[in-house]
């Protein structure tokens, strides 16, 4: 199975409005609730791709109960197994407002509940148990209040000690400390990469991030695709054309594809092609953690993967 960790889970709410106008009242035409947080989105996509997944992290309060009930009703592909740890605080909500006229999305993210030392200890024990039998693990998203900034570095070391490949997808100081623990793969976006390395030139920054400890670094370039610094060289993958829609969860779908390629033993060009196609197909879906399967199949053979000239 593939294990995904979401320390700051969320109940995702998506509102669709005809047009989003500042300072105006809006009539919502559609409301969608989904279990959310980056690692849960990754797990739902992996399940739809046919991979057995287990999710862990924290869930609490009425929103946590709703999240777990929605997770149990996930029906696409393989079921997602719930190994979330209860917390006394209420799970946060995230609200995505989709402007139907422009296709743009506005995102509002709550901070999450404060985690106690006892709750962190309970999670650490659960995580260690789940590593037994995991083929790969993804550590995803922000840290809720109460968890120390070196938490991901600690979890990376536990996974490495258990011989389980680990992917890290976070930002800021947790990324800086986590990458020094030598994860197998990190997947920042361009802004996160610039904050980590101080460089806004993607090729230089991606290679610099790899020198900081990661076995491989895959950088999201938004609508321009992905850039990867790997042991096999530097690769760039791009969709045939930019797609418009709801970008929420597109990066999580890329993580899912990279994990699937890792456990399947695919080469890097294949992994990146699937990641770009799946990410674009997610933009075309109205809800994070889901993708347009028809678009995915159509986009995949049209993704370009090459070694950029700057690789030398």
Please indicate whether residue 252 is annotated as part of the active site: yes
Alpha helix (H) ranges present in the chain? 38-48, 61-72, 117-131, 151-161, 172-180, 190-197, 202-211, 250-264, 268-283, 293-299
- DSSP-assigned beta bridge partners for residue 219: 227
Handedness of CA 13, 59, 289, 171 (dihedral sign): positive
Copy the structure tokens of residue 205.
Answer: 């920054």
* Candidate list 82, 169, 184, 252, residue with the active-site label: 252
* 255 neighbors 187 (Cβ within 8 angstroms): yes
Task: State the angle between helix axes of 172-180 and 151-161 in degrees (0 to 180), rounded to the nearest 10.
Answer: 30
CA angle 236–53–40, rounded 5-degree value: 70
Describe the crossing of helices 268-283 and 250-264 by its angle, rounded to 10 degrees.
Answer: 150
Question: Is residue 98 within 8 Å of residue 14, measured between CB atoms?
Answer: yes
Dihedrals phi, psi of 92, to nearest 5 degrees: -75, 170
Cβ-contact 62, 35 below 8 angstroms: no
Q: Which residues are catalytic?
A: 252
């Amino acid at each position: 199975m593939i294990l995904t960790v979401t320390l700051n889970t969320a109940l995702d709410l998506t509102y669709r409005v005809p047009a989003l106008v500042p300072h105006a009242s809006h009539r919502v035409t559609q409301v969608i609730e989904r279990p959310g947080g980056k690692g849960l989105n990754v797990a739902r996509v992996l399940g739809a791709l046919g991979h057995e997944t287990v999710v862990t992290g924290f869930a609490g309060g009425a929103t946590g109960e709703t999240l777990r009930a929605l997770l149990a009703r996930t029906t696409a592909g393989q079921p997602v197994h719930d190994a979330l740890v209860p917390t006394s605080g209420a799970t946060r909500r995230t609200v995505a407002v989709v402007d139907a006229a422009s296709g743009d999305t506005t995102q509002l993210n709550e901070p999450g509940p404060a985690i106690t030392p006892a709750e962190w200890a309970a999670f650490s024990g659960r995580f260690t148990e789940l590593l037994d039998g995991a083929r790969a693990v993804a550590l995803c998203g922000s840290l809720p209040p109460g968890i120390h900034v070196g938490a991901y570095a600690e979890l990376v070391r536990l996974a490495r000690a258990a011989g389980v490949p680990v992917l890290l997808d976070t930002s800021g100081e947790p990324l800086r400390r986590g990458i020094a623990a030598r994860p197998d793969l990190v997947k920042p976006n361009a802004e996160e990469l610039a904050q980590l390395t101080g460089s806004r030139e993607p090729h230089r920054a991606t290679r610099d991030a790899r020198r900081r400890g990661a076995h491989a670094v895959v950088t999201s370039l938004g609508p321009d695709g992905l850039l990867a610094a790997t042991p096999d060289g530097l690769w760039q993958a791009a969709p045939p054309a930019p797609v418009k829609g709801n970008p929420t969860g597109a990066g999580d779908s890329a993580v899912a594809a990279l994990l699937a390629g890792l456990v399947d033993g695919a080469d890097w060009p294949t992994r990146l092609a699937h990641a770009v196609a799946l990410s674009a197909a997610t933009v075309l879906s109205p809800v994070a953690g889901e993708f347009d399967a028809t678009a995915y199949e159509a986009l995949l053979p049209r993704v370009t993967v090459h070694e950029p000239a700057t690789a030398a």
